[in-house]
Structure 1
Amino acid sequence: MVTSPELDRGGILRESATAARHLARICFKTGPPTHTGVELEWTVHDAADPARPVDVARLRTALGRHCPVTLDHTSPATPLGHGGTVTLEPGGQLEISTLPRPSVAALIRATEAEIAEVTALLTVAGLVLGRSGIDPHRRPRPVLETPRYRAMRGAFDQRGPAGRTMMYSTAGLQICLDAGDVGQVASRWAAAHAIGPPLLAAFASADRHAGRRTGWASARMAAWLDIDPPRTRPVWSPRRADEDPTDAWVRYVLAAPLLCLRRHGPDWTPPPGVTFADWLDGALPRPPTTDDLDYHVSTLFPPVRPRGYLELRYLDAQPGRDWVLPLAVLAALFADPGTVRAAYSIGAPVAHRWSAAARRGLADPAVAAAAAALLDLALTALPGLDLPAALHDEVQRGVRRRLATAERGAR
Structure 2
Amino acid sequence: MQSDLDSGTILRAVDDAAGYVAKICFKTGPPRLSGVELEWTVHDAAVPERPVDPARLRTALGPHAPSTLDPDIPAAPLPHSGTVSVEPGGQVELSTAPRRSLGELHETTTSEFAHLTDLLGAAGLVLGDTGIDPHRPPTPVVDTPRYRAMRCAFDRLGAAGRTMMYSTAGLQVCLDAGESTEFADRWAVAHAVGPPLLATFATARRHAGRDTGWASARMAAWQFIDPARTRPAWSPASESTDPVQAWVRYALAAPLLCVRRDGEDWSVPPGITFTDWLAGALPGPPTTDDLDYHLSTLFPPVRPRGYLEIRYLDAQPGAEWIAPVGVLAALVGDDRTRDAVRSACEPVGGRWAEAARHGLRDPLLARAAGTLLDLALRSLDRTGLPPATREEITRIVARRLAAARKGPR
Does the CA contact (< 8 Å) of 2:191 and 2:302 recur in 1? yes
Q: 2: distance between equivalents of 1:239 and 1:385?
A: 30
Q: 1: distance between equivalents of 2:332 and 2:238?
A: 22
Shift of 1:342: 2.0
Q: 2: distance between equivalents of 1:102 and 1:333?
A: 18
The residue number in structure 2 matching 1:142 is 140
Q: 2: distance between equivalents of 1:44 and 1:249?
A: 34
The residue number in structure 1 matching 2:302 is 304
Shift of 1:239: 1.4
Tell me the TM-score normalised to structure 2 length: 0.96
**TM alignment of 1:229-308, pairs within 5 A:** 229-308=227-306
How far does the alpha carbon of each residue in 1:357-393 deviate from its partner, in whole angstroms, 9 at most, with x for none?
A: 0000000000111111110100110111232232222
The residue type equivalent to 1:269 in the other structure is: S
How far does the alpha carbon of each residue in 1:385-410 deviate from its partner, in whole angstroms, 9 at most, with x for none?
A: 2322322221222222234456778x
**TM alignment of 1:125-140, pairs within 5 A:** 125-140=123-138
Q: 2: distance between equivalents of 1:183 and 1:255?
A: 27
Shift of 1:9: 6.0
The residue number in structure 2 matching 1:77 is 75
Q: 1: distance between equivalents of 2:151 and 2:323?
A: 33
Does the CA contact (< 8 Å) of 1:85 and 1:98 recur in 2? yes
Percent identity, aligned pairs only, is: 66
Of 38, 41, 44, the match for 1:43: 41
Shift of 1:46: 0.1
What RMSD, in angstroms, separates the aligned Cα atoms of the two structures? 1.3
Shift of 1:164: 0.2
Of 208, 211, 217, the match for 2:209: 211
Shift of 1:75: 2.4
Does the CA contact (< 8 Å) of 1:369 and 1:407 recur in 2? no
Of 182, 185, 188, the match for 1:184: 182
The residue number in structure 1 matching 2:3 is none
Q: 2: distance between equivalents of 1:348 and 1:275?
A: 33
Q: 2: distance between equivalents of 1:341 and 1:287?
A: 45
The residue number in structure 1 matching 2:57 is 59
The residue type equivalent to 1:115 in the other structure is: F
Name the SS of the counterpart of 1:131 in structure 2: coil
Q: 2: distance between equivalents of 1:93 and 1:14?
A: 38
The residue type equivalent to 2:115 in the other structure is: E
Name the SS of the counterpart of 2:131 in structure 1: coil
The residue number in structure 1 matching 2:399 is 401
The residue type equivalent to 1:166 in the other structure is: M
Shift of 1:340: 2.3
How far does the alpha carbon of each residue in 1:230-253 deviate from its partner, in whole angstroms, 9 at most, with x for none?
A: 000000011111110000000000
Does the CA contact (< 8 Å) of 1:369 and 1:406 recur in 2? no
Does the CA contact (< 8 Å) of 1:133 and 1:205 recur in 2? yes
The residue number in structure 2 matching 1:377 is 375
The residue type equivalent to 2:201 in the other structure is: F
The residue number in structure 1 matching 2:358 is 360
The residue number in structure 2 matching 1:110 is 108
Does the CA contact (< 8 Å) of 1:179 and 1:189 recur in 2? yes
Q: 2: distance between equivalents of 1:297 and 1:166?
A: 18
The residue number in structure 2 matching 1:202 is 200
The residue number in structure 2 matching 1:95 is 93
Q: 2: distance between equivalents of 1:386 and 1:183?
A: 23
Structure 1's unaligned 5+ residue stretches are 1-7
Q: 2: distance between equivalents of 1:248 and 1:407?
A: 38
Does the CA contact (< 8 Å) of 1:175 and 1:312 recur in 2? yes
Does the CA contact (< 8 Å) of 1:50 and 1:137 recur in 2? yes
Name the SS of the counterpart of 2:59 in structure 1: helix
Does the CA contact (< 8 Å) of 1:191 and 1:341 recur in 2? no
The residue type equivalent to 1:314 in the other structure is: Y
Count of matched residue positions in the alignment of Structure 1 and Structure 2:
402
Name the SS of the counterpart of 2:283 in structure 1: coil
The residue type equivalent to 1:336 in the other structure is: D
Inter-CA distance 49–79: structure 2 relative to 1 (3 Å threshold) = same
How far does the alpha carbon of each residue in 1:303-358 deviate from its partner, in whole angstroms, 9 at most, with x for none?
A: 00000000000000001111110011111112321222322221232121000000
Q: 2: distance between equivalents of 1:332 and 1:239?
A: 25
How far does the alpha carbon of each residue in 1:243-289 deviate from its partner, in whole angstroms, 9 at most, with x for none?
A: 10000000000100000011111110112211001011111121111
The residue number in structure 2 matching 1:23 is 21
The residue number in structure 2 matching 1:5 is none
Q: 1: distance between equivalents of 2:275 and 2:205?
A: 38
The residue type equivalent to 1:143 in the other structure is: V
